[in-house]
Amino acid sequence: MKFIDEASIFVEAGHGGSGIKSFYREKFVPLGGPDGGNGGRGGSVILVATSNLTTLLDFHFQPRWKATDGLKGQGSRCDGKAGEDLIVKVPIGTQVYKSRGMSEGKAPIIGDLVCDFDEDGATMVLAQGGRGGKGNSFFKSPTNRAPEHFQPGEKGELGEYVLSLKLVADVGLVGFPNAGKSTLISRISSARPKIADYPFTTLTPNLGVVRAKGGKSFVVADIPGLIPGAHEGKGLGIKFLKHVERTKVTAHLIDPMQLNDDGSPCPPAEAWEKIMTELRLFSQEIADRPQIVVLTKGDTALDPELIASYQAEFKGRGLRCIPISAVTGEGLEDLVSELSAEIEKARAVEAVIRAEAKDDALEGAQHELSKE
């Protein structure tokens, strides 16, 4: 399936049906009175987040979405049928922005954030259906026994929006191209990304579910390789950096035999600092999250004392450094356990924050009620 993480859409809710003017007619009932029914409401366009989708591909091929109109009223005070709501499913992690038109390069200009679908089943009415018009029977009164007035239906809401998908994962695997991210995710989960011995093998993010001891599980995202200047769009750049914005833990995958562009050795600490520079320039919040350094390709002939010195250097920076080999499986169990523990800590912190926010909201509501 082609990975599409941005799409422009046009949505239009259904128009409300018109009320009608009608008078009851029956033999021997000369003053039957008004009996025009109301029009039905128009259908709304409703977005619903689902875990069954992982891409915005559907919106790439179908950018226009319209709900059905309500039907007009009938005689005998029969109301018109309401239009059916249009339920549009989007992947979890989709953000909806107002569109401000197109740039000269024909790219959508993103406006204000409308909604952020960060959990399964989240729902939002993106375009409200128009109300149905009232028939003339509605306007009957003691002083107006035979009203001829009726209302047309209201138009449904419409608008242009930009959908932007940010993957929802617990761990983001970051590093230079060919650092071993795809190989790792293929060993610790059922994900099967493309693996080859050339840069930028991974062209789209990959998700994998990892099961740790005790039945706990978490989601890992393999982010396409970063290079210096990624925050400015170099390489695959900022297009995929956004997919680490929702992660709780960052795993830096570093090839201990990484080379600089001029062919000189790039020590792991230097490689880590280059990636951290890109993360800081893109988002300081991401750079401040818990992180683990992973030295990959441990099956290659490296001096154990050299590996120990790398670990000691990262320990001095307050970071856990775990050497692994995705080929032999060395260190993978330790890595999964460490990631699981960090995620549990992050989830506990999030739970406290949500509880405090809920208490604050409840206290605010009670305060408003007391003023009334």
Q: Where are the domains of the chain?
A: 6-165, 171-351
Residue type, 231: H
The label of the residue with tokens 């005689």 reads 75
- Dihedral sign of CA atoms 257, 260, 265, 266 in order: negative
* Residue-level pLDDT at 239: 57
In a 3-state reduction of DSSP, which class is residue 241? helix
Residue 49 near residue 94 (C-beta atoms within 8 A): yes
Farthest CA pair distance, the chain: 109
Terminal CA-to-CA distance of the chain, rounded, Å? Answer: 56
- The tens-digit pLDDT sequence of the chain (372 residues) is 455 778 899 999 999 999 999 988 877 767 778 999 999 999 999 999 998 887 888 898 899 999 999 999 998 889 999 999 999 999 888 999 999 877 766 677 788 999 999 888 999 999 999 999 999 999 998 888 889 899 999 999 999 999 988 877 888 888 888 778 888 888 888 766 544 443 444 446 677 888 888 778 888 888 775 655 544 444 444 555 777 777 889 999 998 888 887 888 889 999 999 889 888 888 888 889 899 999 988 766 568 888 889 999 999 999 999 999 888 888 899 999 999 999 888 888 878 887 777 766 667 666 666 665
* Residue-level pLDDT at 234: 46
**What is the CATH number that goes with domain 6-165?**
2.70.210.12
Pick the CATH number of 171-351 from 3.40.950.10, 1.10.3720.10, 3.40.50.300, 3.40.190.10: 3.40.50.300
**Residue 207 to residue 189: CA distance in whole angstroms:** 9
Residue type, 297: K
Q: For the residues of 117-136, what is the DSSP string, one character each? A: --STT-EEEEEPPPPPPPPG
**Residue 92 to residue 245: CA distance in whole angstroms:** 14
**Residue 237 to residue 234: CA distance in whole angstroms:** 5
Nearest 5°: phi and psi at 250? -110, 130
* Residue-level pLDDT at 101: 79
- State the pTM of this model: 0.67
